[in-house]
Chains A and B, each alone.
Chain A
């Protein structure tokens, strides 16, 4: 039985008396690659913020690595890649190397500067996403896909066991999306990092992930990718409010985990 990485029980979150999330139960185990999908406004980002400890749910509990989130101290076990488009200051004259080194800020704590072993870690993280040759370029000069690789390196530099990605392919051009997912699946299979990927795009990610969770205020489906493909289009139209066509696949069905 592999380790529980994320365990959410009966989580509800409301804002201005509106339910944003209701009765969420979710279990992510070590080595999973979970795709969390749902339409805009379905509460995906709020759920992420709860998992990251930025927002507190009104009800329910979250455990990360078996520890209640309120007692969680070793946050460096979690890497976070935000929606690039909304987040960083794109005119900022930081080099790629400097951006990645920011991933170590929390781990180092106050009063401590970067040591040479930290520089080594930055270089290794850049190599693992294939961006080491860009180390001295300014982040703003890179393409959207390259920038997103740099942000993954920033998340990887503290050796996280769980990597959370919020719509990472927004702003990445179509031809680079495929290689971007290849990188993610390498991180998952070769480095054994548990991944939680949030997307509004059901079609693309269901091919890449090991498990799928569909969110629209409530969790409508949670289980292995194979089970998800058996779900009827009717189930999905409840989620999205209109019919969704999935590409057909002919994979062998295997034992998947039931939704909890």
Chain B
């Protein structure tokens, strides 16, 4: 166990994971209840094309990293989020159409960029499925800054976000600036999706926002409890997942998701036992 902490990169991964384990489920609660679960999936695919763009630029034009993959991914993710909102207002009656359009668009662009680079080394693999050794000190700093921004925004707008998730019509009727709050919310989702990618990987990012919440709904009483349980489940799965994947030499993304599924199965069974 001790030699785990001897390496800086492992410490970075663990700290990043612990922050994401709190931030992603916290935001995820609002994502799930606003029925926007799939948005995080679409945005993670857009993030992938940002990562590919950054790696491509690095390979051909700038040897020393002109824009880090994390930063480029984040930029793409935020742009994707606002495109989704735009599409949602274009297809008012089929709002969910925005998600497959952006998801496949992001993936398509990513694949083209990857093939233009004639493939990458293992680096890309770590972006897809997460890595315990890929988190740099700079990545950690970015995650810390984003986390502070996200947590403060949610604390300040807690009442408004709660009301908007629960009853949008009433929220508008009581004079809340729903549009403004929604845009900020989407921005937060885009940021969290892109920074979570380093640890769990692009393809599994959305699980961090949805699975802990799915488990929490089954047993929580009240909204506050739902948030608390979601964070506990998220944190538990990320920390345990990082340790397990290091010692068993597994991809952390997969390990974390499988742990979350186990927690979910446990809560499903728990509810059955108690109602019997």
| Cβ contact within 8 Å between A89 and B170 | no
Instruction: Kindly state the separation between the CA atoms of A86 and B173 in the bound complex, as whole angstroms.
Output: 14
A99 touches B166 (CB 8 A): yes
Residues of A within 8 A of B3 (CB): none
B221 near A136 with CB under 8 A, answer yes
A93 touches B217 (CB 8 A): yes
CB neighbours of A87 from chain B (8 A): 167, 169-170
CA distance A75 to B175 in the complex (A): 8
Label chain B's interface by main secondary structure.
helix
Selected from A86, A89, A99, A111, the residue in CB contact (under 8 A) with B33 is A89
Q: Does B159 contact A (CB under 8 A)?
A: yes
Give every chain A residue within 8 A of B166 (Cβ-Cβ): 88-89, 92, 94, 99, 102
Q: Which of chain B's residues 160-180 have a Cβ closer than 8 Å to chain A?
A: 160, 162-163, 165-167, 169-176
User: Whole-angstrom distance between the alpha carbons of A44 and B160 in the complex?
Assistant: 28
Q: Does B134 contact A (CB under 8 A)?
A: no
Whether the Cβ atoms of A80 and B174 lie closer than 8 Å is yes
In the complex, the answer to whether A80 meets B176 with C-beta atoms within 8 Å is: no
The answer to whether B163 and A54 have CB atoms under 8 Å apart is no
Q: Does A95 count as interface, using CB distance less than 8 angstroms?
A: yes
Interface centre among A102, A136, A137 (most CB of B within 10 A): A102
Could you say which of B170, B171, B172, B220 has the most chain A C-beta atoms within 10 Å of its C-beta?
B170
Whole-angstrom CA separation of A125 from B156 in the bound complex: 25
Partner of A102, one of B159, B172, B221: B159
Chain A residues close to B by CB (< 8 Å): 52-54, 75, 80, 82, 86-89, 91-95, 97-99, 102-103, 105-106, 108, 110-111, 113-114, 136-138
| B residues lining the A interface (CB < 8 Å) | 33, 156-160, 162-163, 165-167, 169-176, 217, 220-226
